[in-house]
């Protein structure tokens, strides 16, 4: 077994979470490996650091504040409670809608409609001039 594996075992050994067989192998290894023995010393030191950490109490009137919040929560409008339930459905509908829009535009892109060709003709300046002349003839009689 490599030193790295023994170091992982050391961490578990410190927590008394290794099997008897693993412990036996580890203790034998520690007799000959100075590096791992030093590592065990470090880990024990670290464990001691955490033992120095004291437990704190939550702020004053924890229960009173909590029960006030519970009471207020009961008074909240129903829509706020149910909105997250619909959120997923809205998302699914939105994705579906975008897919349909994408599909329609995809067809338009590859198969352009003939109306676009007609609209091209309409912006022909010559045609526009003829159209204006025809209009003038209708209102004022033949020109010239």
Partner 1 sequence: MEEDFELLAKFKKGDQQAFELLVRKYKTTVFNTIYSIMGNAQEADDTAQEVFLKVYTKADSFKGESSFSTWLYRITINRCVDELRRRKNKIISYETEFNQEEKLKLKDVLASKERDITEELRKNELQDIIQKAINSLPEKYRIIITLKEMEGLSYIEISQIMKISLAKVKIWLFRARQKLKGKLAFLYSQGE
What does the binding site for partner 1 look like in residue numbers (CB under 8 A)? 7-8, 11-12, 15, 17, 38, 41-43, 45-50, 52-59, 62-63, 65-67, 69-70, 73
Closest distance of CB 18 from partner 1, Å: 9
Task: Choose between 54 and 120: whose C-beta lies nearer to partner 1.
Answer: 54
Task: Choose between 82 and 131: whose C-beta lies nearer to partner 1.
Answer: 82
Q: Phi first, then psi: give them for residue 109, nearest 5 degrees.
A: -65, -40
Handedness of CA 73, 78, 81, 83 (dihedral sign): negative
Residue 10: burial class (beta carbons within 10 Å; 0-12, 13-18, 19+): buried
- Asked whether the beta carbons of 127 and 121 are under 8 A apart, the reply is yes
Task: Choose between 63 and 116: whose C-beta lies nearer to partner 1.
Answer: 63
Closest distance of CB 45 from partner 1, Å: 6
């Amino acid at each position: 077994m490599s030193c790295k594996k023994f170091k992982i075992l050391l961490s578990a050994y410190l927590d008394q979470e290794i099997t008897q067989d693993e412990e036996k192998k580890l203790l034998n290894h520690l007799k000959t490996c100075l590096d791992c023995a030093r590592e065990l010393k470090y880990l024990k030191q670290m464990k001691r650091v955490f033992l120095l950490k004291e437990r704190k109490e939550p702020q004053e009137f924890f229960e009173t504040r909590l029960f006030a919040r519970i009471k207020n929560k009961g008074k909240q409008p129903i829509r706020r409670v149910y909105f997250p339930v619909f959120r997923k459905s809205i998302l699914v509908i939105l994705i579906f809608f975008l897919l349909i829009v994408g599909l329609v535009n995809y067809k338009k892109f590859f198969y352009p409609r003939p109306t676009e060709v007609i609209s091209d003709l309409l912006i022909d300046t010559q045609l526009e001039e003829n159209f204006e002349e025809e209009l003038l003839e209708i209102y004022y009689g033949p020109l010239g």
